[in-house]
Amino acid sequence: MEDIKVGNTNANDINLHQDMYAKAYDKGMSFSQYLENIDPSDPKDAKNGLDAFERQLMRFGIRTKNDPRTGMGASTGDLFFQSNIPASRILFPEFLNRVARVAVMSQDDIMSQLVATTETLQGSNLMRSIYIDDTQAQRTKSRVAEMGEFPVVKVTWSEKATALAKYGVRIQMSYEFVRRASLPVISILLQRIMLQTRLDEVGEAVNALHAGDGSGHASGGTISTSNLSTYQGGTPEGTGEMTYAGYLAWLAVFYPGKCTTIISNAADTVKYLTMPKPTVDPLFLYSFLNPGLLGGVPERAVNWPIPTNITPVIHANVVANTLVGIDKSAAMIAVREAGADLTETDKIINGQFNEIVMSNTVGFQMLFASARKEIITVHDQAQA
């Protein structure tokens, strides 16, 4: 594959061709990124705020949105397949990819509550798991004697590679339909269909938090599970369910981290959000403790282990009577294969399609085992 020629290339001078998608994939880029390297956007003169791909659309007169202010309507799909301008066909697969990415971004409000970051994997569908040998005993030595050794927290790659999973959908949307439909309509249809694929990825993330990443190491193993009786010596007579005191005691075990997200099914989410609380909620009271009330002197608990802004996430993959708590900054990262958005690109470009297959390849790596904890919210005796 030839190298990308980076420079101030005029958008109209770029020779678009089909194998640009393969070249972009080999370099771990999207087609848009590939074009941006050929025709970089000038931060001082962003050419009406368009990126390199959008400048190519403008080059061929393709409008992706309606403009009620000017009365100019969006193009139909047919404008990508102009017989007198064959190069415009090259842009259609990336148009579909960009629409799909918008659907991905619309669900980031869920995924962003589960993962610390998303990494891009280039050229492989196998990820090497991260091995973290980290225990409380290794972290709690406060003083090292003369000639003594410092405690060690080992971070390395696991010898075991884990395969990423592919998520996708086959959309029966023919070439004839695409030619006559407006681009906003095509966008709406694809984004709605792709939402389910993104939700499937969230489901896999929830499963991984519980079962681990398959690395075989403690840091990537099954989630630490405890029972309600560990945190409350007794329960209200006849209920056997979590009390507010037990709930706070469970949250405290995340210290020195903090629980940021609690995942549970819909019924259990409602139960823990509506559990009886004291007349004066200590979490509500804590939010007013800085500044203090005595002479304006701040009264702030600097190591308060109970977070006041936990995000609830509802997901059916969590079994009944169970809460999964995580510190999203340290529990898990997502790994996504670069450029794996659209399959059968050549058929799309050549107009030889009756369906469109969209897919993503993604996996999840566990980080610190102490950053994810599960609690069974029904008391042992009640279960018996």
- Domain of 257, CATH number, reads 3.90.1690
Statement to judge: residues 130 and 51 lie in one domain: no
**CB 223 within 8 Å of CB 373:** yes
Residue 287 resides in a domain: yes
Residues 213 and 324 in one domain: yes
Does a structural domain hold residue 37?
yes
**Among candidate residues 19, 42, 59, the one where a domain is terminated:** 59
Q: Are residues 241 and 306 in the same domain?
A: yes
Confidence of residue 147 (pLDDT cuts 50, 70, 90): low
Mean pLDDT in residue range 349-374: 86
| Residue 95 covered by a domain | no
Question: And the tokens for 248?
Answer: 């706070």
**Residue 238: which pLDDT band, with cuts at 50, 70 and 90?**
very low
Which of the residue ranges 106-120, 186-200, 272-286 would you say has the lowest mean pLDDT? 272-286
The predicted model gives 150-156 an average pLDDT of 68
At residue 101 the predicted structure's pLDDT band, cuts being 50, 70 and 90, is confident
More confident residue, 283 or 139: 283
Residue 112 domain-assigned (yes or no)? yes
Q: Are residues 47 and 113 in the same domain?
A: no
Q: Are residues 35 and 128 in the same domain?
A: no
Sign of CA dihedral 57, 61, 67, 73: negative
> Average model confidence (pLDDT) for the chain?
79
Residue 73 lies in a domain: no
Q: Classify residue 158: in a domain, yes or no.
A: yes
What is the distance of C-alpha 350 from the center of its chain? Answer: 33
What is d(CA 373, CA 132) in angstroms, rounded to the nearest whole number? 17
Evaluate whether residue 188 is within a structural domain: no
222 and 284 together in one domain: yes
DSSP annotation string for 73-105: PPPBGGGGG-TT-GGGGGGHHHHHHHHHHHHHH
What count of other Cβ atoms lies within 10 Å of the Cβ of residue 140? 8
Q: Which of 19, 43, 59 is the last residue of a domain?
A: 59
Of the pLDDT bands very low, low, confident and very high (cuts 50, 70, 90), residue 350 is confident
Whether 252 and 343 share a structural domain: yes
In this structure, the answer to whether residues 55 and 121 fall within a common structural domain is no
pLDDT band per the 50, 70, 90 thresholds, residue 115: very high
**Confidence tier at 180 by pLDDT (50, 70, 90):** very high
Residue 172: how many other CB atoms lie within 10 Å: 9
* 233 in the same domain as 120: yes
* Kind plus residue range of the DSSP H or E element containing 136: helix 136-139
Residue 5 · residue 38 · CB < 8 Å:
yes
Q: Is 313 exposed, middle or buried (0-12, 13-18, 19+ CB in 10 A)?
A: buried
Answer whether 325's CB lies under 8 Å from 257's CB: no
Residue 27's pLDDT is 81
Asked if pLDDT for residue 68 goes beyond 90, the answer is: no
Report the domain count for the chain.
Answer: 2
Q: Find the range with the poorest average confidence among 63-77, 105-119, 132-146, 269-283.
A: 132-146
Q: For residue 234, tell me if it sits in a domain.
A: yes
Evaluate whether 360 touches 162 at the Cβ level (below 8 Å). Answer: no
The pLDDT of 268-279, averaged and rounded, is 88
Q: Which of 97-101, 167-171, 273-277, 302-306 has the lowest mean pLDDT?
A: 302-306
**Claim to verify: residue 35 and residue 161 sit in the same structural domain:** no
Give pLDDT, residue 340. Answer: 56
Residue 291 shares a structural domain with residue 362: yes
Q: How many CB atoms lie under 10 A from the CB of residue 296?
A: 7
Q: Residue 268: which domain range?
A: 108-134+154-178+197-384
Same domain, residue pair 47 and 168 = no
